[in-house]
């Protein structure tokens, strides 16, 4: 293991490990798993955060980024007034709350399933304490993640990302509220504007808007029934941005003449 951060505060060490875990990098504090030294959070001492050699460069980059934005903790001395004591009390309460949060919600070890028995996990779970924080899946078993679910700190599903053509780029994203999908985008090229914009109601797809990826002009909108069958569509036939042709569909998805 390679040390990438050496601090005198246990809380800072655990916060850094948390950021590393969120980026998929396993880290240790003083050679132990973070949860094993969680009881040392309020203490001062020598806390070394280390990662595997192959993760050292990325870990150092994240440390440098974190150090550049974290607020300084140096303060001018304040007189021992009632207001100053209240400030110290509130600061102490905040530190204690953060310590408890990290103690009970700190990312645990990941686990998963090896579906094809090749010794590599095809489905990996990342945890935030007792809650799932992320699930990654290699659907075509090529060693690369092509499906990812990301959860919030409350353990509720936040987004889904998918690489449906397995080229290494996540082209589809679905956003969730209260665990149900509300909106989605598909960008088939992996960069630039979206090709398709999906809208959901109560978790059910209600319409899809199709865009020209070069002009970003909406070309078509399709309205679906509760079972995913198209009910009607509107099309921009001349590229002026206005939908000028409307089509209705039968129960088999064929256009009605």
Tens digits of residue pLDDT in 188-198: 877 767 899 99
Which of helix, strand or coil describes residue 89? helix
Q: Is the model's pTM score more than 0.75? A: no
207: exposed, middle or buried (Cβ count in 10 Å: 0-12, 13-18, 19+): middle
- The low-confidence residues of the chain, meaning pLDDT below 70, are 31-45, 69-110, 192
Looking at residue 257, what is its pLDDT? 79
Rounded Cα gap, residues 51 and 243, in angstroms: 55
Q: Residues for the chain: how many in total? A: 257
The residue whose two tokens read 């974290």 is 70
The pLDDT, as a whole number, for residue 148 is 96
Closest CA to 123 of 131, 111, 108: 111
Give the angle 170-235-241 at the CA atoms, nearest 5°: 80
Q: How many CB atoms lie within 10 A of CB 248?
A: 12
Nearest to 51 by CA among 96, 3, 6, 8: 3
Report the percentage of the chain scoring pLDDT > 70.
77
pLDDT digits (tens, 9 = 90+) for 28-47: 887 655 555 444 444 455 78
Q: What is the pLDDT of residue 46?
A: 76
């Amino acid at each position: 293991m390679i040390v990438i951060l050496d601090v005198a505060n246990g809380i800072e060490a655990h916060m850094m490990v948390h950021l590393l875990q969120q980026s998929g990098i396993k880290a240790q504090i003083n050679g132990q798993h973070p949860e094993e030294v969680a009881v040392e959070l309020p203490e001062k001492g020598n806390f070394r955060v280390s990662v595997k050699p192959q993760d050292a460069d990325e870990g150092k980059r994240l440390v440098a980024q974190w150090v550049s934005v974290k607020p300084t903790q140096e303060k001018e001395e304040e007189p021992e007034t009632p207001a100053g004591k209240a400030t110290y009390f509130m600061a102490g309460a905040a530190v204690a709350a953060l310590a408890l949060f990290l103690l009970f919600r700190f990312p645990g070890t990941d686990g998963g399933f090896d579906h094809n028995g090749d010794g590599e996990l095809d489905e990996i779970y990342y945890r935030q304490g007792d809650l799932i924080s992320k699930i990654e899946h290699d659907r075509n078993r090529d060693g690369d993640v092509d499906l990812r679910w990301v959860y919030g700190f409350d353990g509720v599903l936040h987004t889904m990302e998918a690489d449906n053509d397995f080229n290494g780029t996540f082209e589809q994203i679905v956003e969730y509220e209260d665990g149900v999908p509300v909106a989605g985008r598909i960008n088939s090229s992996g960069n630039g504007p979206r090709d398709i914009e999906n809208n959901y109601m109560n978790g059910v797809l209600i319409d899809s808007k199709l865009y020209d990826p070069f002009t970003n002009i909406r070309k078509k909108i399709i309205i679906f029934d509760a079972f995913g069958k198209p009910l009607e569509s509107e099309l921009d036939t001349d590229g002026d941005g206005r939908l000028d042709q409307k089509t209705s569909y039968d129960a088999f998805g064929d256009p009605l003449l």
